[in-house]
């Protein structure tokens, strides 16, 4: 029996909260105005909100452009470094190929000298 009473009180608490929420929501039945273009401005508050949003957007765009340029500069720097490294590795590969060919030639001459009848 006690648990039924607790459930009733518990339900009553949630019921009162939802009623409070409903009354708070009724205070602002009108949806906020959408100011997307300069021509949507009707009041001074609209003007302030529009220019506040434009200022924030301009600052955000400026930061975005700075980050994009920085990222591009880093990529260009890495590209130059990798091209330089690629050139060095190609040169090293060429040198190693020449050394291998010289060693093969030397080995062939040694083998052919051993196989020659005396």
DSSP of 2-43, one letter per residue?
HHHHHHHHHHHHHHHHHHHHHHHHHHT-SPPP---SGGG--S
pTM over 0.85: no
pLDDT digit string (tens) for 86-103?
A: 999 999 999 999 999 999
CB-CB neighbours of 35 under 10 Å = 17
Residue 49: burial class (beta carbons within 10 Å; 0-12, 13-18, 19+): middle
Report pLDDT for 118: 61
Report pLDDT for 56: 95
Report pLDDT for 100: 98
pLDDT digit string (tens) for 20-65?
A: 555 555 555 566 667 666 677 778 787 788 888 889 999 999 999 9
């Amino acid at each position: 029996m006690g648990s039924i009473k607790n459930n009733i009180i518990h339900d009553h608490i949630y019921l009162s909260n939802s009623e409070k929420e409903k009354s708070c929501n009724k205070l602002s039945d009108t949806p906020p105005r959408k100011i997307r273009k300069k021509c949507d401005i009707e009041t001074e508050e609209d003007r302030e909100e529009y220019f506040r949003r434009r200022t924030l957007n301009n600052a955000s765009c400026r930061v975005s452009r700075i980050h994009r340029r920085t990222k591009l500069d880093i990529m260009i720097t890495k590209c130059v470094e990798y091209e330089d490294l690629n050139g060095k590795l190609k040169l090293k590969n060429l040198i190693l190929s020449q050394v291998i060919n010289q060693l093969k030639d030397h080995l062939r001459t040694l083998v052919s000298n051993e196989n020659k009848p005396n």
